Amino acid sequence: MRSSFIIFRVKLYGVKKRFFFIITIAATLFYTACTSCNNNKTAINNSDVDSTKEAYKMLPSEQQEVVDVVYRWNAAHDTTNLDSLYNYYNDPVLFFKKVLPRQSVIATKKYKITHADSYKERIIGRIGIYASDTGNYKCEFLKLVTINGRPNVFHSYLIFKKQADSTWRIIVESDKEADAKPEMVSLFEKFDESENSSTGDFNGDGEKEDLIVIKPEQDSSGKYKSTETKISFTNMDLPEIIIPNCVGVNVLNENDVDGDGADDFSVVIKKPNGDIGDVVLYSLKRGKWHELARFKASPDEVFSNRQGLIEFAGNGNIKIRSMEKTPDSRDTILIKTISTW
């Protein structure tokens, strides 16, 4: 009985030994297969990178320089040194259908990136480069932008112009998605206002932001699809303003007309029928837009005396030049003092 037990233990030991041997062989084969798989993936990725580099090497040297600038420009968006973007832009820049000073372009990008919890953008695939008769180059590429974990892909393009110092700088930046949207027009580009006044410190934080109007779309016959005009800002913390019964506005930065430390602005409303509507003075108070004044102005003064319609009067007061009816129904100009407190 004892010898049988010993024989059984020996046989069991032999089975275990063969079992562990088989497991060891299987694990080794699995590890080898995985390693081979990873090596194949790495080889494929390296092959893609090498083929991309080889494709660019086939381009003329000047075009290779421009493509290299695109990659360096893209990488600058993922760094803390966003001021380096300054080196890639011409002054001014046609930036998403708006002619802006280079400084405004950089400020807009810096605000967008620094106010996001996370921001990353990268180029997908190869960059297409096309020469123009003027010597400029247009670069087209797919751009993956991930903000706060939410990815979006854009059909982006940049147009480069060679500078006197032989560097290439961006003169146009946009994407096909933005080009297809309703035109966004700076509200300060009307009358005699200069382009530099298209910015203002509307919340009093010491940083200037662009003020943008989005007019309602028109169909092929010219009919408006809606009668609302929206006002938005490059500072996303500032709430949007929606103006009903309005298909366009003329805006003027009134500076700090109420003395609260932040810039205010006024709009002249264009009605759907083309008539001139009210003049409205807006000021940001505790994170919300307030109408400090709403009045009618003489059509003549809207064009000839735009900057004189609203004036600072001290101690929280403003003076307005409004047009009102007399008892005998005649139009007359009245100068009123209104408290903004």
What are the residue ranges spanned by the domains of the chain? 61-179, 184-339
Rounded Cα distance between 303 and 106, Å, is 33
Is residue 96's pLDDT more than 90?
no
pLDDT confidence bin for 34, thresholds 50/70/90: very low
For 286, counting Cβ atoms within 10 Å of its Cβ (0-12 exposed, 13-18 middle, 19+ buried), the class is exposed
Which candidate, 247, 246, 262, places its Cα nearest to that of 294? 246
Rounded to the nearest 5°, which phi and psi values hold at 299? -55, -35
pLDDT confidence bin for 232, thresholds 50/70/90: confident
Query: What does the pLDDT average to over 152-162?
Result: 94
Is residue 165's pLDDT more than 50?
yes
pLDDT of 22 reads 52
pLDDT confidence bin for 90, thresholds 50/70/90: very high
CB 125 within 8 A of CB 142: yes
Residues 285-317 have pLDDT tens digits of: 999 999 999 999 887 777 667 788 998 887 788
Mean per-residue pLDDT of the chain: 79
Q: What percent of the chain is modeled with pLDDT above 90? A: 31
Report the DSSP beta bridge partners of residue 321: 335
Residues 51-67 have pLDDT tens digits of: 555 678 888 999 999 99
Is residue 163's pLDDT more than 70?
yes
pLDDT of 79 reads 65
CATH number of 61-179: 3.10.450.50
Q: Which two tokens stand for residue 114?
A: 């620094």
pLDDT of 148 reads 84
